[in-house]
Structure 1
């Protein structure tokens, strides 16, 4: 080989090395930029947050399926358009389908520039045999959670709100299964956590357990920074003011842990101790209306129009109930 050819070969090698270095540098720069972008843009829900109004809501399904009569159509259309959490349950989103549902919801949220809020509601022996009894076996539950968490992690640049297993902690003492619940919830948190995912544990409500009792239950889960906080008043009718006071009292015992409050059906807040389809109630203030240094904001978590169970003439828990939709929105539809 001549000296000239050797020199040309050396230059080719050097240019190749330089090109590889540039490519590697770009990859690292993009990766770092993405990490920085996700870090600085991730925001928990707050005042002004708009949740997705999911196309899979029971109200929208009733409209799409032509199962709405003239008396309830206006109320059903009104509620279908409201930003509300979507409840993932194994009954309607069984293992093998839940991940696809989450992916579809994420696509809807991205296209609408909205925040996705989901309720994960499928743990073993759910609701201790009460109106919402059901859930998965322990092994199926872990697989289901992994599927949901995997789908959430595909959108690290989006903020996602996860309300994890309502009633699971507040009801544990009555059910006698606190030790099991704590382990299950820890595993659930670790399966679902990821960039931009804000997880809220069950926080009961102001008319149930004392702040000290509720704080003790939440602290037993011991998931450090993996959760954002706790959710109160889910599927209940307590006043927003009472729930703010309660959330502050619980948070004070937990070192300032944050909270969200369900205001989907507390527009009158006069149900007292009655929790199963109490008559005369109204939807509450829209999500993103209130917030402070402890309460991130209020949200519509329980979809108005879905029954609490077979009481006061209602169908099974979670079933769309046109009469409830009409009553809850009376005087509000325009």
Structure 2
């Protein structure tokens, strides 16, 4: 049975975290934005905010109490066997002999412990230190035991990757079983082309492609290549390829951006293609690519990019609902369904799987971000993605939760508490979606810790903490 273990390190990592906008914030994760997509495939929203936001329908909602797995903190799964992993001899720690890091049935979320990010533990601790309600503090302490992804949302964040992986390896050598860190690769040139809140540091016209390859992907690749004794999951570039399906010609989604997205995602897939690294490409969510035409467009783009990368064996599948709020399933919402056939992420995963199979990708698997989709009916339109008021943490990370075909896991890709984007209209990175009535107007810049919002996500968690 896979587990998660809280790694409560006395660390200064929280103070050392860099902000998504490059000026010293405290984010360990990037955002995930999105465009919402309407009927004929035209987008409505735009993703945003570094480690927090997600476009047109962010990853938070899971219907009025729709609970599909086990509640407050159930483990991550079990299993055995895996075609793309290796074994390793433990260095140090309590273990003797070898630790087999092979992924059961090819699912990297099975048969081990999902790593709890010490930086996120420190962020949550900062909220605990401000909280006097004893019952609420106990719930926050439970959150400190839940695994979240480590976001590489800028070149400088790569400096912290080795330390993050070292901590996971140290735990692995203490408990003598695989410990699985999850990273998010998120720094494409012209990043989040249909958003303002989470635009990145690299521009195509300013040598961004070269820097992305040499200073970002190549460095990540070298670090991962030196760690064949660890099973690692990588989520590839939220808000990139889906924008090509629905947002070309709008805002910064130019032909130059399209070329960079296609070629650099393919480059990343190639360079990170290793037996011990399991890649999941971001595939938006049901409120973005849920319409049949959008599904087909998205599947074709995904297939083209994977082919351009040489069909790397390390591409396990796709991640949906990253930094979004879409429920797993629902029968009604407070917004118009707009003829979208997908009533939640389960429907979307099943439908996208069919569209992918038509493009020769019928063997791919999925994960769903459930970090903030514990509650539905929290927004007037499912294109609203920015710090939606009323959001709650959703299903806890675990492997093989069922509900949809080839669903590897629920996972908290978006660390709950990281802001989607600022509500300050005078800010350079202000996005109009962060000014809507459904968005919490207290929000700081994307990627910064948003204590008040974290508190509400804890209180509204479903299943309860």
Q: Structure 2 length normalisation: TM-score? A: 0.58
Match of 1:90 in 2: 154
Distance 1:212 1:66, change over 3 A: closer
Higher helix share: 1
For CA contacts below 8 A with separation 6 or more, give which structure has more relative contact order.
2
Out of 264, 267, 271, the position equivalent to 2:374 is 267
- d(CA) in 1 for partners of 2:238 and 2:127? 31
Unpaired runs of 5+ in structure 2?
Answer: 1-85, 89-99, 203-207, 248-252, 330-343, 423-433, 435-439
Corresponding residue for 2:455?
326
> Which of 140, 163, 182 is the aligned partner of 1:117?
182
Deviation at 1:179, TM superposition (A): 2.4
Match for residue 60 of structure 1 among 118, 122, 129:
122
Pairwise CA distance, 1:162: 0.5
Larger Rg: 1
Contact in 1 for aligned 2:127/2:451 (Cα 8 Å): no
Aligned residues of 2:367 and 2:411 also touching (Cα < 8 A) = yes
Cα offsets for 1:174-213 (capped at 9, x unmatched): 2133222110001011111212211011101000123212
The match for 1:133 among 191, 199, 202 is 199
Which residue matches 2:240? 168
Q: Residues 62, 265 of structure 1: CA spacing in aligned structure 2 closer, same or farther, 3 A cutoff?
A: closer
C-alpha spacing 1:40/1:323, structure 2 compared with 1 (3 Å): closer
Q: Secondary structure at the match of 1:51?
A: strand
Verify: 1:152 aligned to 2:224, yes or no.
yes
Partners of 2:356 and 2:373 in 1: CA distance: 26
Whether the 8 Å contact between 2:393 and 2:460 is mirrored in structure 1 is: no
2: CA distance, partners of 1:42 / 1:196 = 14
Aligned equivalent of 1:81, options 145, 167, 186: 145
Q: 1:288 to 1:67 in 2, by over 3 A?
A: closer
The alpha-carbon distance between structure 1 residues 218 and 106, as it changes in their structure 2 partners (threshold 3 A), is same
Asked whether 1:249 is paired with 2:351, we answer yes
**Hey, what's the Cα distance between the residues in 2 that align with 1:80 and 1:121?**
24
Q: Quote the offset at 1:293 in angstroms.
A: 4.2
Q: TM-score, normalised by structure 1?
A: 0.79
Q: 1:213 aligns with which of 274, 297, 301?
A: 297
| C-alpha separation in 2, matches of 1:142 and 1:301 | 24
Distance 1:55 1:188, change over 3 A: same
- 2:107 equivalent among 21, 44, 56: 44
Maintained 8 Å contact 2:390/2:460: no
1:200 equivalenced with 2:313 (yes/no): no
Greater alpha carbon shift after TM alignment, 251-260 vs 108-117: 108-117
Query: How far 1:294 sits from its partner (Å)?
Result: 1.6
Alpha carbon RMSD of aligned pairs, Å?
Answer: 2.9
Match of 2:368, SS? strand
Q: Provide the C-alpha distance between the structure 2 equivalents of 1:240 and 1:150, rounded to a whole number of angstroms.
A: 36
Q: Corresponding residue for 2:6? A: none
> CA 1:133–1:187 in 2, change beyond 3 Å: closer, same or farther?
same
Deviations along 1:3-58, one digit per CA (max 9) or x if unpaired, are: xxxxxxxxxxxxxxxxxxxxxxxxxxxxx987xx666768423467642111122x
Q: Report the counterpart of residue 321 of structure 2 in structure 1.
A: 233
Is residue 197–residue 421 contact of structure 2 (8 Å, CA) maintained in 1?
A: yes
How many pairs align?
298
- The one-character-per-residue Cα deviations of 1:114-135 (angstroms, maximum 9, x if unpaired) are 3111111111111125211113
**Secondary structure of 1:93's aligned partner:** helix
